[in-house]
Amino acid sequence: MDMKNNLETAIFGAGCFWGVEEEFANVAGVKKTEVGFSGGITENPSYKDVCTGETGHAEVVRLEYDPREVSYQELLKKFFEVHDPIQVNRQGFDFGSQYRSVIFYITPEQKETAEKYKKTLAESGKYKKEIATEISPAGPFYRAEEYHQRYLQKKGLKVC
């Protein structure tokens, strides 16, 4: 937790980061969003690099949120609502490992909460297939080029 402003950070990959960022930007308690790449081996990759599928990175949204206004569990609920977590390395028309479903946890508490949430969701019977979402420790986050930040908002587009 950032002691100066009491904000916490979460990182989610759920397909193309443009729509995912817009979904989280509209959640009360989320104070900042930015899109980028995480989970791979290439340092400081460009969008073009990540699109090759050879960097190992996923397109992700990193967000800062106020846990007094929105809980990590509520963010997980949103995460699972905005994409199809049973798809392996794809979302809609986008395919490749960069579009995988992944939660990058920052603290042991986030890991535990994410694992419990995924297990409860899996046992709920909502999905006919196994949930493909990875839960992995957060590594370096590489911010995507500026034109990707709040892309849909800049273009006047809405999430489908």
Please name which of 55, 60, 15, 17 lies closest in space to residue 37, comparing C-alpha atoms.
Answer: 60
Plot region of 39 (φ>0 → left; ψ -120 to 50 → alpha; else → beta): left
Owner of token pair 């950032």? 2
Active-site residue among 9, 16, 77, 84? 16
Provide the CA 97 distance to its chain's centre, in angstroms.
14
Burial letters 15-32, b for 16+ CB under 10 A, else e: bbbbbbbbbbbebebbee
| 16 part of the active site | yes
* Rounded-to-integer distance, Cα 6 and Cα 40, Å: 29
Which residues participate in catalysis according to the annotation? Answer: 16
